[in-house]
Each structure stands twice: as structure tokens, then as C-alpha cells.
Amino acid sequence: MTNLILPPSTIGIIGGGQLGRMMAISAKQMGYKVAVLEPAALGPLAQVADLEINAPYDSEEALTQLLAVSDVVTYEFENIDSHVVEKLASAGYIPQGHRPLAITQHRYIEKTSINNCGFKTAPFEKVDNFNDLKNAIKKIGYPSILKTVSGGYDGKGQWTLKSDSDLENVHSVVENQNCILEGFVPFTKEISVIVTRGTNDQVETFPVVENIHQNHILHLSIVPARIDANLAKKAEEVAATLIEKLDFVGTLAIEMFVVEDDIIINELAPRPHNSGHYTIDACNVSQFEQHIRAVCGLPLIKPTLIQPAIMVNLLGQHVEYTLNMWTKPEFSDAKLHLYGKEEMRANRKVGHLTFMNHFETKLEETVNQFLINFPK
């Protein structure tokens, strides 16, 4: 039976970063109260929350406190101890449960789960030591990518291997950490689909997004993705089927590779995603509102793209340039979102800027003009 959580109930969020902040803003617009569990005080979410609990994410005492003050609890990122969530789930209401965490925070388990659902990934092998790595190379070959099975994001915790000479560089890595070796995928585009499933089993997908990265960090998200319409439909169908087969509730972001006329799944994230930020301004419902609706048992809204959009990710080194350019008439109608982070250090995600236009050619021209002197 679906638990219906209505305003002014309290939504607890584990994690106090920008994703939690945007979840909280959507929740508060609907009249909910928001509590946050986050180690550091006055982070992006806490600035808009009603209650802040400062403690490590794996603190059983703190999570018990969050569950006690909340009518429903969700999480804004996957690197939370799934065992603690599983142990304490009976103390409150966590509709997503621990399984999405357990699956997506371990790359080997994640890829195995995707394959078991009938979908393609890059070829992969488990690597627990240097001998495993040499055997995996014999099966997968070069080039290949070595990744730690847990942790790591935006290019951290991974190494590209092009020949035997690269193996010694990662010898200590594989002897001290569990890893996975993935075969290189000759993709033509990187895309993603945000899909949401409610506690009532309703499933809705957002439009397919084309993603461009710089230095392993998301740079641009373009929607609609510049791919064949049949391939876009297939990507949405894959997303809807996968979330049902995995039996996940809430939001699932699915990163995919386009390889000719086929799709290969790269990674999963059981939460709103950087590539879905455009939905705040360019869709009839944002990924954040949809997620809140899902965990609160409310009906989901069928997402519609109001007009084409390009989201520019803003890192610390981009803020000064962006503020100067944003004041110019030709760029001032772009939607600026800054996340309330005090330290604007290089390569730290601190905001995003969403450009929209009904004419895709004009939209691309405007963004290209904006990016002419964009800091690296």
C-alpha cells in the first residue's frame, strides 16, 4: 500500500549538497518542511532547510534522529553506508530502501545487475589483485579502463590503460583496492535519461539528454539530444524497463553510450542528476519535484519539454566570467542557479546556467557565443 505523505509533513534528506538543496526548494514550494543530515554545517541544503543535523552519514544515532523527526526520508547521493540504512529502515520510512545504494555504490554489482536485467554494458572483469588485472587484460585487451569498485566520480578513481607499460602504474592500486576493468566503448555520443518511479509503481521518463564532458566533468547538457528519434525512444524505453526490473523507487539517472544505432549503459545514480538540472526551467516538472512526488506517494507528472535547452555546468573558475557575461542583454535571459557554496575552488561544481530557445540553431549559436572565452 502506498504511503501518502502530504504537506506540511517533514521530508528528511541524507546529504546536504546542491542536489539536496534543489530537492528541498521543490519540497518547500509544495509546503513541506525539510530536515537534513550532513557532516558540515550550513551547506547548500541547510541554507534552505528547517532542521539541520550535523553528523557523519554512517552515524546510527544521527540517522535515527533524522528518521524520528521526518515523515519520509530520502537521499541525495549514493555514497552512504547501505548497511546502516538497511539496519535502521524499520525506525522510519525510507521508501527507496537500501538496495539502490548497495547496487549503485559498487561498480561490479551495478554492471552485473544491469546485465541480469537484459541490458548491455561495456565488457568488464572483477580485479582484486595484480594477477586478476593481468588475466582481465587477456580477456578485454587494450585500451581499457581500470576503476575502483566504489567511490570516485568526475574521473576520480579511474585509470586508462593503453599497453602493458601502464600496468605497473596501477600495481599498488589493485593490490590495495577492489577494482573493475572495463573495455573501451567506441561511442559517438554520451546521453542520459532521468526516470522516476513512484511508490504506486507509476513510471515517467524525462527527455533524452546529450552530454558533453571536459576533463571527465560534465560541461554541457543538450536537450533534446541530437540523435535519431527511434534511438531516443529506445533509450527512454530502456530506462523505464530498467527501473521496474531493478524495483527502484524515486529517481534513477542512467548514463548511456550511443554506439552506431545501439545503446550501452555506462552508470546508474539513484537520485536526481547533474544532467537533469535543465528540467527546473525547461520542463513542466523538474526532476527534483518529481522525486519528491515519488517518495511522498503523490501522482507523478508526465514530463514535457517546454522548449529546447542547453545547460552549462559552472565550476569554481567559471563564476566570475559567468556573472560578467550574464549581465549582457544577449545572455541575461539565461537562468542562473548558484548553489550557496562558500568556496569557489577550481573544478568544484558551484552552479549551472540554462539557456532556452524554441529554435535549436539559435540556441546553439547563443551558447557558443557565451562560451568563446569560457575559462578551462
What pLDDT sits at residue 79?
83
Q: pLDDT, tens digit, for every residue of 83-102?
A: 999 999 899 999 999 999 99
Is 293:29 a contact under the CB 8 Å cutoff?
A: no
What pLDDT sits at residue 157?
86
Handedness of CA 260, 264, 269, 270 (dihedral sign): positive
Distance CA 295, CA 30 (A): 14
Q: Which amino acid is at 148?
A: T
Q: What is the mean pLDDT of residues 115-122?
A: 98
Q: Which amino acid is at 220?
A: L
Cis peptide before 224 (omega within 30 of 0): yes
Distance CA 77, CA 253 (A): 11
Name residues whose C-beta falls within 8 Å of residue 165's C-beta, 6 or more positions apart in sequence.
Answer: none
Architecture of domain 123-183: 2-Layer Sandwich (3.30)
Is 58:85 a contact under the CB 8 Å cutoff?
A: no
Cβ-count burial of 368 within 10 angstroms (0-12 exposed, 13-18 middle, 19+ buried)?
Answer: exposed
Q: pLDDT, tens digit, for every residue of 268-287?
A: 999 999 999 999 999 999 99
Q: What is the mean pLDDT of residues 321-336?
A: 96
Name residues whose C-beta falls within 8 Å of residue 294's C-beta, 6 or more positions apart in sequence.
Answer: 95, 196, 197, 198, 199, 249, 250, 251, 300
What pLDDT sits at residue 156?
75
User: Which residues is 314 bridged to in the sheet?
Assistant: 351
Q: pLDDT, tens digit, for every residue of 207-244?
A: 999 999 999 999 999 999 999 999 999 999 999 999 99
State in words which class domain 189-370 has. alpha beta
Q: How far is CA 235 from CA 183, 223, 230, 303, in A?
A: 21, 14, 9, 15
What pLDDT sits at residue 56?
96
Is 94:33 a contact under the CB 8 Å cutoff?
A: no
Strand, coil or helix: 180: strand
Share of the chain above pLDDT 90, in %: 96
Is it the case that residue 152 has pLDDT exceeding 90?
no
Tell me the whole-structure pTM to 2 decimals.
Answer: 0.96
Could you tell me the residue ranges of all domains in the chain? Answer: 10-94, 123-183, 189-370
Is 58:81 a contact under the CB 8 Å cutoff?
A: yes
Range scoring the smallest mean pLDDT among 156-160, 181-185, 280-284: 156-160
**For residue 174, what pLDDT band results from cuts at 50, 70 and 90?**
very high
Among 3.40.640.10, 3.40.50.1000, 3.40.50.20, 1.10.1660.10, what is the CATH number of 10-94?
3.40.50.20
**DSSP class of residue 283?**
B
What pLDDT sits at residue 151?
80
Q: pLDDT, tens digit, for every residue of 360-375?
A: 999 999 999 999 999 9
Is it the case that residue 111 has pLDDT exceeding 80?
yes
What pLDDT sits at residue 154?
65
Is it the case that residue 1 has pLDDT exceeding 60?
no
Distance CA 194, CA 139 (A): 33
Q: pLDDT, tens digit, for every residue of 342-356?
A: 999 999 999 999 999
Q: How far is CA 327 from CA 220, 316, 330, 362, 373, in A?
A: 21, 19, 9, 19, 16
**For residue 155, what pLDDT band results from cuts at 50, 70 and 90?**
low
Is it the case that residue 131 has pLDDT exceeding 60?
yes
What pLDDT sits at residue 91?
93
What pLDDT sits at residue 120?
97
Residues belonging to the chain: 376
Q: What is the mean pLDDT of residues 47-70?
A: 97
**For residue 2, what pLDDT band results from cuts at 50, 70 and 90?**
confident
In 3D space, the residue among 80, 72, 90, 93 whose CA is nearest the CA of residue 30 turns out to be 72
**For residue 312, what pLDDT band results from cuts at 50, 70 and 90?**
very high
Q: pLDDT, tens digit, for every residue of 189-199?
A: 999 999 999 99
Is it the case that residue 8 has pLDDT exceeding 90?
yes
Q: Whose grid coordinates read 559517438?
A: 188
Number of H helices and E strands in the chain, helices first, is 12, 17
**For residue 74, what pLDDT band results from cuts at 50, 70 and 90?**
very high
What is the pairing mode between strands 144-148 and 158-161? Answer: antiparallel
Supply the mean pLDDT for the chain.
Answer: 96
Distance CA 323, CA 321 (A): 6
What pLDDT sits at residue 218?
97
| Phi, psi (rounded to 5 degrees) for 349 | -70, 120
